Chain A
Amino acid sequence: MTKRNFWGYFVPYGLWLGLFVIAPVALIVYQSFFNLDHQFTFANYADYFQSGVYLKMTLNSVWYAFLITLFTGLISYPTAYVLHQLKHRQLWLLLVILPTWINILLKAYAFIGLFSQDGLANTFLRFIGVGPHQLLFTNASFIFVATYIQIPFMILPIYNALDDLNPALVNASRDLGATHWQTFRHVIFPLTLPGVKAGIQAVFIPSLSLFMLTRLIGGNKVITLGTAIEEHFLTTMNWGMGSTIGVVLIVAMIIVMQLTTDHTKGAAK
């Protein structure tokens, strides 16, 4: 392919980059400097940092995202670890991926039924003698459902990291007299840390921005950054403030990416 012809192929993709990647990000930053009357102002940012409401909401959202990521990680690491030792692991892995192909709304909807007064969860609680409880529209149910949805996205990168791990290193450690726990603590876990980081990346940011779960499951008690943006854009129509929160979310995303991307690996390549 000659250079001249090559640029012709680049045009549609280049247009997409300009119109749908760069322009929207620029527009959301631009919009964050305008108030409800379309006047240029820094008031949105002043509001955000001075009125405690927004900062508290952000902290709350980060806290919930942290909890969701923590629980997802605690459940997923052992799952990936055991899964990796199985004989038909490819098949089991497929079974982990399968739920991600089912529409997220349907999964959330299933929990409305499961957690209802006479739903399966309460039937179970009654059976073991501690129920029934109000489950739907509580913070705990929000964290549970969010964790449920994110688990496959955490298992996959950890599984891949375990797969990349050279078994000779594990054998060497055992031969040198390390216990199972020591091998895990000093060999397996450090070497699979990139997978855990990739998992955190895949779970933490979406957890900050979930908004339909807060409505359907959390009963509007938990306000995440995502819920706040959705409300400002589609309910109160205050796009300036919505964009400001959006910019905060983008900054949070960049920070998380910086913290979880392996820089040493990139440099070595």
Chain B
Amino acid sequence: MKKLSRLYLILVFVILYVPIIYLIVYSFSQGDTMTNYHGFTWQHYRDLFADPRMLAIVADTLLVALLSALIATAIGTLGALSIQRTSKRVTRDVLLNLNNILMVSPDVIIGASFLIFFTTLKMPLGFGSVLLSHIAFEIPIVVLMVLPRLREMSPSLLSAAEDLGATTHQLLTKIILPFITPGILAGFFMALTYSLDDFAVTFFVTGNGFSTLSVEIYSRARQGINLEINALSGVMLLFSLLLVGGYYLLQQNSRKRRARKQHNREVPQ
């Protein structure tokens, strides 16, 4: 029974990883199909880095991801602060439910409704509309990452600071922000990956001139196999691994710090 269950688990993991490994392996294959490995080459990576259109799209994608994640993190943190401060439970529940609408809506609905929205405002489609859309769908995840940290904060900490004469500004920058920083960083990383991962919403609001990696991969993949995409997936895999690594290091760090604090509290010196 135990052997059988192990075998099952291995099978699931093989299925999960075969497509990814397959992609990467063929990014190093000569020729131009994803069948019959033809021998090792860096050619497709060289092609990728010599392709000015692709490089511009990579730059645009990273720019949109970073900018949108920064702005969404700022607005989302303010949002979490205000949700936490509302005294009425009903208001808070309503705000939280509204916050989660974009989290549960299908991408197609978000994309289509944003397209109507931008067209109604007569906004040109392109960099601006993509950036605004990304900010919009990243805000709720930032709120959800920051709120738990705010809830963990003891109210007596705030009262103490207020009694000692701290202004609102000091309260925010000296007490609240340092405490919720792990949540803010987690929110930022999630926002970044949401942006890099998005295809459907961008596809709707991108217009003609502007493109992100997902949209570009889609249009190239519709024309069939192109090993430059494999090379691109190799680069993106490396990038995501670095992001995941950074994120987990961050989580681990804050968990350790919290554990140490707990320890100090329980063992009085």
Q: Give the B-binding residues of A (Cβ under 8 A).
A: 1-2, 5-6, 9-10, 12-14, 16-17, 19-25, 27-28, 31, 75, 78-79, 82-83, 86, 94-96, 98-99, 101-114, 116-120, 148, 151-152, 201, 205-206, 208-209, 211-212, 215-216, 225-226, 229-230, 233-234, 239, 242-243, 246, 249-250, 253, 257
Let me know if A1 and B197 touch, CB within 8 A.
no
Q: Give the A-binding residues of B (Cβ under 8 A).
A: 5-6, 8-9, 12-13, 15-20, 22-23, 26, 33-36, 74-76, 78-79, 81-82, 85, 95, 98-99, 101-102, 104-110, 112-117, 120, 132, 135-136, 139, 143, 168, 171-172, 193, 196-197, 199-200, 203-204, 213-214, 217-218, 221-222, 224-225, 229, 232-233, 236-237, 240, 243-244, 248
Report if A13-B106 is in contact (Cβ < 8 Å); known contacts: A1-B168, A211-B200: no
CB neighbours (8 Å) of B107 from chain A are 206, 209, 226
CB neighbours (8 Å) of B23 from chain A are 106, 109-110, 113
Let me know if B75 and A103 touch, CB within 8 A.
no
CA distance A29 to B97 in the complex (A): 19
CB neighbours (8 Å) of B9 from chain A are 79, 82-83, 86
CB distance from B151 to the nearest CB of A (A): 14
Let me know if B106 and A20 touch, CB within 8 A.
no
Let me know if A243 and B240 touch, CB within 8 A.
no
CB neighbours (8 Å) of A201 from chain B are 104
Let me know if B112 and A13 touch, CB within 8 A.
no
Let me know if B12 and A216 touch, CB within 8 A.
no
Q: Can you offer 28 A-B residue contacts whose CB atoms are under 8 A?
A: A9-B81, A12-B74, A13-B75, A13-B79, A14-B82, A16-B136, A19-B117, A24-B110, A94-B248, A99-B16, A102-B236, A103-B233, A105-B199, A105-B221, A106-B229, A109-B233, A119-B35, A120-B22, A208-B106, A209-B200, A212-B203, A215-B222, A216-B221, A229-B112, A233-B204, A234-B204, A243-B112, A249-B106
* CB-contact partner of B12 in A1, A79, A116, A253, under 8 A: A79
Residue from A79, A105, A119, A148 with most neighbouring chain B CB atoms (10 Å): A105
CA distance A151 to B15 in the complex (A): 11
The binding surface of chain B is classed by DSSP as helix
CB distance from B166 to the nearest CB of A (A): 10
CB neighbours (8 Å) of B221 from chain A are 105, 108-109, 112, 216
CB distance from A228 to the nearest CB of B (A): 9
CB neighbours (8 Å) of B114 from chain A are 20, 24
Let me know if B120 and A253 touch, CB within 8 A.
no
CB neighbours (8 Å) of A12 from chain B are 74-75, 78-79
CB neighbours (8 Å) of B82 from chain A are 6, 9-10, 13-14
CB neighbours (8 Å) of B16 from chain A are 95-96, 99, 148, 151-152
Report if A99-B17 is in contact (Cβ < 8 Å); known contacts: A209-B108, A229-B112: yes
CA distance A242 to B116 in the complex (A): 11
- Beyond known contacts A16-B135, A243-B112: 18 more, CB 8 A cutoff: A10-B78, A20-B102, A27-B113, A75-B12, A82-B6, A99-B16, A102-B240, A105-B221, A108-B221, A109-B217, A114-B22, A114-B34, A148-B16, A206-B107, A216-B218, A243-B116, A246-B112, A249-B108
Let me know if B20 and A246 touch, CB within 8 A.
no
CA distance A2 to B168 in the complex (A): 7
CA distance A16 to B108 in the complex (A): 19
Report if A107-B20 is in contact (Cβ < 8 Å); known contacts: A82-B8, A249-B109: yes
Residue from A118, A120, A208 with most neighbouring chain B CB atoms (10 Å): A120
* CB-contact partner of B104 in A95, A105, A205, under 8 A: A205
CB neighbours (8 Å) of A148 from chain B are 15-16, 19
Report if A21-B236 is in contact (Cβ < 8 Å); known contacts: A212-B200, A243-B112: no
Let me know if A5 and B168 touch, CB within 8 A.
yes
CB neighbours (8 Å) of A79 from chain B are 8-9, 12
CB neighbours (8 Å) of B13 from chain A are 95
Let me know if B214 and A103 touch, CB within 8 A.
yes
Let me know if A107 and B19 touch, CB within 8 A.
yes
Residue from B104, B108, B213 with most neighbouring chain A CB atoms (10 Å): B108
Report if A103-B8 is in contact (Cβ < 8 Å); known contacts: A113-B225, A205-B104, A233-B204: no
CB neighbours (8 Å) of A114 from chain B are 18-19, 22, 34
Let me know if A21 and B225 touch, CB within 8 A.
no
CB neighbours (8 Å) of B36 from chain A are 118
Report if A21-B109 is in contact (Cβ < 8 Å); known contacts: A102-B236, A105-B221, A107-B19: no
Let me know if A103 and B197 touch, CB within 8 A.
yes
CB distance from A80 to the nearest CB of B (A): 10
* CB-contact partner of A209 in B99, B109, B240, under 8 A: B109
CB distance from B214 to the nearest CB of A (A): 5
